[in-house]
Amino acid sequence: MIKKPYLLSPGPTPVPPEVCQVASLPLIHHRGPEFSAIFREVTEGLKYIFQTELDVLTLTSSGSGAMEAAVVNILDPGDKALVLNAGKFGDRWGKICRAYAVDVQEIKVPWGAEIAKEDLAEQLAAHPDARAVFCTLSETSTGTVYDIEGFARVTASTDALLVVDGISGLGAMPCPMDAWGVDVLISGSQKSFMTPPGLAFIAFSPEAWRHVESSRLPRFYFDALAARKGLQKQTSAWTPAISLIRQLHKALEIMQNIGLEGLFSHHRVMAEATRAGIHALGLELLSENPGNILTAVKTPAGLDGNRLVKIMQEMYKVHIAGAQDPHKGKFFRIGHLGFTGGFDIITALTALEMTLGDLGYAHKRGDSIRAAQAIIKENWQ
């Protein structure tokens, strides 16, 4: 039997065929007019998704490179920063800051828990010398989304910059940089941007740029001033990932044709369909405030969560993600991000039902499919 693979991880996400095809085009030179025209249009497309009039810089790196760029470009050695740690990537903000001798003060909550803007306000009052607040729009390790608009209202009355990891959330849910007053916003190519991994994006507010110009942390490859100078010449500071940028150019064209509201609506429907199926199976969500990017599901009692993910991947070729350390096996994550459609969700739930049956979990076959179908059919346009 032919076993077709399906990618439903939180990242990388499926890439549209027309975006894949661009990778086969002959290379062009990155210092010529053809690349400059593409790079200019890519930058404008990124500004549309970021909802900003500011420059958006494109880096050849994973999203973690943009996280590091955010830290090294706005802080000085010994600066104090507040880090909102509610999962693997909130924790990563702290690790990057500590690597550069930044004084980290954490607001740490259990994985999947919410963080109220009042908690941030309390911590900023206790640490008025904090130079930045590092937080996450959508915590990819748990599927939880956070109140960035509320956080921005809190930081607006302080001297702290608000730095937001929008790597998995941007393009799938609202986070208008200018309207909300976000100071630094980052993202990556392999999530809602429907492009292979390897590109990261970062934008700075005018106030953040003032910090960039005076920051004394060491940096070279991730120097935002060098990247901005290159952008002014419609190119990159360093040799770019030419084929990836051309693929992104096509992906942004698709995203702009759909429109932001269309993208948000699509991801909402995919999330609702997935969760309808999960609830129909009697399974429990991990997150207190799940978003449209992925659904984290607690492993049923008595089952091996790692084995569940392995069976889905190896037997049924549906690639979802397990929980990350230190919670491996305790829950699993189904992505519904980027170029993922309703029938992909049906396929994932079918494979999940078959896997649960293999593991001895009692459920009525087809319940999750019917529940998801109802949501998809209701929103089919």
Picking from 234, 257, 280, the residue at the C-terminal end of a domain is 257
Query: What's the pLDDT score for residue 381?
Result: 74
Query: What's the pLDDT score for residue 321?
Result: 97
pTM surpassing 0.75?
A: yes
**Same domain, residue pair 240 and 130:** yes
Dihedral sign from CA coordinates of 302, 308, 311, 316: positive
Does residue 93 lie in a domain region?
yes
Q: What is the pLDDT of residues 308-332, one digit of tens each?
A: 999 999 999 999 999 999 999 999 9
Does residue 34 lie in a domain region?
yes
Mean pLDDT of the chain: 97
**Same domain, residue pair 315 and 334:** yes
Does residue 1 lie in a domain region?
no
Query: What's the pLDDT score for residue 93?
Result: 98
Q: pLDDT-derived band of residue 1, with 50, 70 and 90 as boundaries?
A: confident
**Same domain, residue pair 330 and 345:** yes
Picking from 237, 257, 277, the residue at the C-terminal end of a domain is 257
What residues make up the domain containing 307? 6-12+259-378
Query: What's the pLDDT score for residue 8?
Result: 97
**Same domain, residue pair 217 and 330:** no
Q: Is the pLDDT of residue 65 over 90?
A: yes
User: How far are the Cα atoms of 115, 163, 173, 280, 342 from residue 83, in angstroms, in the given order?
Assistant: 12, 10, 22, 37, 36
SS3 assignment, position 252:
helix
Closest to 139 in 3D by CA, of 115, 106, 104: 115
Residues forming beta bridges with residue 106, ordered by sequence position: 83
**Same domain, residue pair 33 and 177:** yes
Query: What's the pLDDT score for residue 215?
Result: 96
**Same domain, residue pair 212 and 348:** no
**Same domain, residue pair 250 and 293:** no
> How large is the average pLDDT for residues 161-178?
98
